[in-house]
């Protein structure tokens, strides 16, 4: 079973990388981009039946740093897997 973990900086935490990407988009002539926040997408292949609690613990213990980041766990249905 595939699980996607989206890790993003908490609101209010300055994101220098997002700011640089924003600046670069403007430099390429894309107008109307109001804000850019850069995050991280982690895909896990886990055993069927892996519990929400286990996935949550993985995020809290390693995948996200809760001082600065939030995370979102998404179980990916087989038909939605992009190969």
Judged by beta carbon, residue 72 or residue 81, the one nearer other proteins is: 72
- For residue 23, give the H/E element and its range: helix 16-27
Reduced to 3 states (helix: H, G, I; strand: E, B; else coil), residue 73 is strand
Judged by beta carbon, residue 54 or residue 65, the one nearer other proteins is: 65
Judged by beta carbon, residue 56 or residue 80, the one nearer other proteins is: 56
Quickly tell me which residue has 């995020």 as its tokens: 59
Residues near other proteins, by CB under 8 A: 13-14, 16-17, 20, 61-63, 65, 67-68
Cβ contacts of residue 10 below 8 Å, gap of 6+?
Answer: 68, 69, 70
**Cβ 63 to other proteins, closest distance in Å?**
8
């Amino acid at each position: 079973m595939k699980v996607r973990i989206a890790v993003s900086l908490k609101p209010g935490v300055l994101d220098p990388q997002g700011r640089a990407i924003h600046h670069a988009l403007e430099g390429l002539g894309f107008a109307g981009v109001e804000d850019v926040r850069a995050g991280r997408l982690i895909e896990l292949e886990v055993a069927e039946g892996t519990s929400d609690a286990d996935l949550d613990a993985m995020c809290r213990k390693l995948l996200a740093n809760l001082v600065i980041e939030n995370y979102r766990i998404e179980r990916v249905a087989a038909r939605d897997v992009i190969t």
